[in-house]
Amino acid sequence: MNDNYQFLLADDHKGNKVLAVIKGELSMELVKSTRLITDKRFNHLAQQLKKIIDSSSVTDNDK
């Protein structure tokens, strides 16, 4: 895997989750420029990601 990518999943355990793929460095400027993906070529992958997100959970390994 390319070291320039990060894959993050956040879960508030209230039904809300975020899956992020970051290329490069995460910054507030990058977060502020986040928009919905409207490219129809993304639809098939989006359906697959929805299944993965729905079946994934985040646990705190530090506890």
pLDDT in tens, 20-42: 999 999 999 999 999 999 999 99
**What average pLDDT does the structure give for the chain?**
89
DSSP 14-33: SS-EEEEEEES---HHHHHT
Residue 61 lies in a domain: no
Give the Cα-Cα-Cα angle 20, 33, 10 (nearest 5 degrees).
25
11 inside domain = yes
Give per-residue pLDDT as tens, 13-22. Answer: 898 999 999 9
Q: Is pLDDT above 60 for 55? A: yes
Rounded CA gap, 51 and 53, in Å?
A: 6
Q: Model-level pTM?
A: 0.69
Q: Domain for residue 63, yes or no?
A: no
Strand bridging mode 17-23 / 5-11: antiparallel
Q: Which domain holds residue 37?
A: 5-55
Residue 37 lies in a domain: yes
**62 has pLDDT over 60:** no
With respect to residue 48, please indicate whether it lies within any of the assigned structural domains.
yes
Domain count, the chain: 1
